[in-house]
Amino acid sequence: MAEAKPLILIVDDDETASHMLEMALLEVGYEVATAENGALGLQKGSESHPALVMLDYQMPDTDGVSVLQKMRTEAWGKDVPVIFMTNAYEVNVMNLVMELGVHDYILKSDVRIEETVKLVSSYVPAPLPAA
Amino acid sequence: MVRIAAATKALKLLPAGPPKSNLELTNAWRRIITVLCIGVVIGAGLLYAADRAYREILIARIETLADAVDGQKAASLRLPETAEGDRNYTYFKAKLASIKRANRDLRFVYMMGRAGQDDIYFLADSEKPGSVGFSPRGEDYPEASGQMREAFDTGRTFIEGPSHDSYGFWLSAIAPLRNEATGQIVALVGIDVPASFYFMLLTIAGGLPVLVAGLISGIIWLRAKGRQRLAQGQHFQAEMVSVASHELRTPLTGLRWTQENLLAQKLTKKQKELVGSMYESTLQLQENIEDILQLASKDVGIADRLHSAPTDLRSIIDSVIKTQQLAADTRRIRIILQGEWPQAIRLDADPMHLKRAFNNLVSNAVKYSADGSEVELVYANDHSCHLVTIIDHGIGIPDSEQARTFKGFYRASNAIGSHTPGTGMGLYMTRNIVTGHGGRLWFTSTTRGDKHGTTIFVQLPKHKTR
């Protein structure tokens, strides 16, 4: 009787980072969905009801802040934990998304992938132990 | 091409935060209006004072003149004509002409009499008989002012004008003459002075402060415009740094995370060494890029960009050690915590910047350590501060160069000789981050004997001091 694996949704236009994160999350037993832009992220979110969203800030169509604002008005995204990711350190953006209720904020270039996975598991426990 | 397109895209994503330029100009306008008001008020004050002073001088001049004229003799000039009057007329004509010659600015010097209550007529003047300005004795002066008529009763010295006639603009100073024996006012003595000097004086007195205020206003305006341009330039620079940050860090993150995923796989010793060395280079590249980005945005001031929050220094140190250890492994260098370390070390700090600072310090320690050696981290605290000490047994910093270590782009001569990479911005930036937190960063270092190496001390306040 296998329990359903928690689904993590990664919304990031950087395919390499997104793919690496997906790989690392799959290894500790999560299910992963990815979206390479904000609109697709919102669509996949409403279809799949993820347990946690990893949301990139700078994306070409809709930026992470807009996605966050939109998802917070929808049933699936109202309370879901969000880890906000960025590659540029901006205090204003950080303050803004903290107000919008993100659970964590990471500067991608500053964290190892293993730390990122650990951060995810602190909100949604990983089904498998880390290698 | 692709990069430029990506950068343009990223630029569009930036939040538009206009510089404070409009505020700058509004403030400048306020200051300009204040300065101009002050200029006008001072100008008006000086104008009034100059007018008063000039009139006082004219009064003093006519009174001195009147003192020198014999009143009793002057009384004899009055109509009807007498033999004594005729004699004295010649005397006064000569006297008034000589007064005019001695005072080159005077246009006319004259004496007036009064018949009845209202009729004013000439007793004598300074002009040659037959000349254009000459008025014969007894000639009526119907333009006489009420003030002039009244002066025979009040005995007041007064100034008239500036008034205008065919001779131009002029001022008149008029004083009464008394018969000293009876005390009766028998005549008036007057001088006419062209108003040109008076007008010049008033223009300078009133205009100069306004002119100075105008110049100051101009300077205020130019400086505000200059500051506005500077602010716009800085804003543009900040935007460019932000775009560059995103564009440079994005592929680096991908590169690093890929290598980390690879290092987490089951690899042979040889493979692990190869990937580890690749990872070391990636970290170095990232450090260099961070240094350059930091330098590009350095005039913004790091203290303004710190975002303090309750932070756990222990978890930052653990993360830094794990990252740096992945790179240090290839040279068999061990990074270890020495002594007592609490499970959590609480302080108010900006976790991202603090992590960068410790990453720099530990990476430096590893970089300059001998292969197979150890880098030690020691923790101590008192009631207000945390102290982290980072000890390496590396090449050390020569005594003669220690004072320059925290300057931007400085690299010790033996560091350059050791072929280790670096921009020389690391320590400079790190110290800015530490001091931006209200902390202190210092070191001891020796290049000689068995104890060669560097010990860096990082002191951080437990609570925000700013």
In this prediction the ipTM stands at 0.87
Beta strands in B55-148 (DSSP E): 108-115, 119-125
Burial environment of residue A115 by CB neighbours within 10 A (0 to 12, 13 to 18, 19 or more) = middle
Judged by CB atoms closer than 8 Å, whether chains meet at B307 and A94 is answered as: yes
A89 in contact with B at a CB cutoff of 8 Å?
A: yes
Out of A59, A87, A89, closest to residue B253 by CB: A87
Judged by CB atoms closer than 8 Å, whether chains meet at B261 and A16 is answered as: no
Q: Which residues of B touch A20 (CB under 8 A)?
A: 254, 257-258, 260-261
Q: Which residues of A touch B253 (CB under 8 A)?
A: 14, 16-17, 87, 108-109
Best CA proximity match to B144, nearest among B124, B164, B122, B162: B122
Distance from CA of A113 to the nearest CA of B (A): 6
In angstroms, rounded to a whole number, what is the distance separating the alpha carbons of residues B143 and B434? 89
φ/ψ of B383, rounded to 5, equals: -65, -25
Q: CB neighbours of A84 closer than 8 A, spacing ≥ 6?
A: A55, A57, A64, A68, A97, A102, A104, A105, A106
A128 in contact with B at a CB cutoff of 8 Å?
A: no
Instruction: Return the pLDDT at B429.
Output: 79
* Interface probe, candidates B11, B250, B305, chain A, greatest A C-beta count within 10 A: B250
Beta bridge partners of B334: B374
* DSSP 8-state class, residue B164: E
Under 8 Å between Cβ of B101 and B80: no
Model confidence, pTM = 0.53
B260 in contact with A at a CB cutoff of 8 Å?
A: yes
B292 in contact with A at a CB cutoff of 8 Å?
A: no
Residue B465 CB neighbour total at 10 angstroms:
11
Under 8 Å between Cβ of B306 and B347: no
Residue B424 CB neighbour total at 10 angstroms:
16
Nearest residue in B to A107, CA atom: B352
Instruction: Return the pLDDT at A116.
Output: 92
Out of A20, A93, A109, closest to residue B258 by CB: A20
Helices (H), B264-350: 269-296, 313-328
Under 8 Å between Cβ of A28 and A99: no
Q: Which residues of B touch A108 (CB under 8 A)?
A: 249-250, 253
A10 in contact with B at a CB cutoff of 8 Å?
A: no
A54 in contact with B at a CB cutoff of 8 Å?
A: no
Q: Helix, strand, or coil here: B169?
A: strand
Q: Helix, strand, or coil here: B414?
A: helix
In angstroms, rounded to a whole number, what is the distance separating the alpha carbons of residues A52 and A9? 6
Nearest residue in B to A25, CA atom: B261
Q: CB neighbours of B315 closer than 8 A, spacing ≥ 6?
A: B344
Distance from CA of A60 to the nearest CA of B (A): 6
Give contacts of B 51-110 with A, CB under 8 A: none
Residue A59 structure tokens: 């994306």
Nearest residue in B to A93, CA atom: B15
Beta bridge partners of B427: none
φ/ψ of B463, rounded to 5, equals: -125, 150
Q: CB neighbours of B309 closer than 8 A, spacing ≥ 6?
A: B348, B349, B350, B351
First to last CA, chain A: 24
Residue that the structure tokens 């569009």 belong to: B12
Residue A50 structure tokens: 């993820």
Residue B16 CB neighbour total at 10 angstroms:
7
Question: What's the distance, CA B374 to chain centroid?
Answer: 53
Instruction: Return the pLDDT at B466.
Output: 47
Q: Which residues of A touch B286 (CB under 8 A)?
A: 109
Out of A20, A27, A92, closest to residue B254 by CB: A20
First to last CA, chain B: 45
Instruction: Return the pLDDT at B421.
Output: 55
Under 8 Å between Cβ of B408 and B423: no
Q: Which residues of B touch A21 (CB under 8 A)?
A: 257
In angstroms, rounded to a whole number, what is the distance separating the alpha carbons of residues B38 and B44? 10
B246 in contact with A at a CB cutoff of 8 Å?
A: yes
Best CA proximity match to A7, nearest among A40, A56, A45: A45
pLDDT tens for the 466 residues of chain B, in order: 333 444 444 444 444 444 455 777 888 899 999 999 999 999 999 999 999 999 999 999 999 999 888 888 888 888 888 888 888 899 999 999 999 999 888 999 999 999 888 899 999 999 999 888 899 999 999 888 889 999 999 999 999 989 888 878 999 999 999 888 888 899 999 999 999 999 999 999 999 999 999 999 999 999 998 988 888 887 787 778 777 777 888 889 999 999 999 998 898 988 888 898 888 889 888 888 877 777 776 555 566 667 788 889 998 999 889 888 888 888 889 999 998 999 999 998 988 888 888 988 998 899 888 889 999 999 998 888 999 999 998 888 877 777 666 665 555 665 555 555 555 567 777 888 898 899 999 988 888 777 788 899 999 998 765 4
Single-letter residue type at B383: H
Burial per residue of A75-113, b for 16 or more beta-carbon CB atoms within 10 angstroms, e otherwise: ebbeebbbbbbbbbbbeebbebbeeeebebbbbbbbbbb
Q: CB neighbours of B356 closer than 8 A, spacing ≥ 6?
A: A110, B290, B429, B430, B433
Instruction: Return the pLDDT at B17.
Output: 47
Judged by CB atoms closer than 8 Å, whether chains meet at B245 and A92 is answered as: no
Q: How far from B373 is each of B119, B360, B361, B363, CA to CA, in Å? A: 121, 18, 16, 14
Residue B366 structure tokens: 């590893």
In the predicted model, residues of chain A with pLDDT beneath 50 are 1
Q: Across chain A, what does the average pLDDT equal? A: 89
Instruction: Return the pLDDT at B410.
Output: 55
Instruction: Return the pLDDT at B214.
Output: 94
Judged by CB atoms closer than 8 Å, whether chains meet at A87 and B246 is answered as: yes
In angstroms, rounded to a whole number, what is the distance separating the alpha carbons of residues A44 and A4? 18
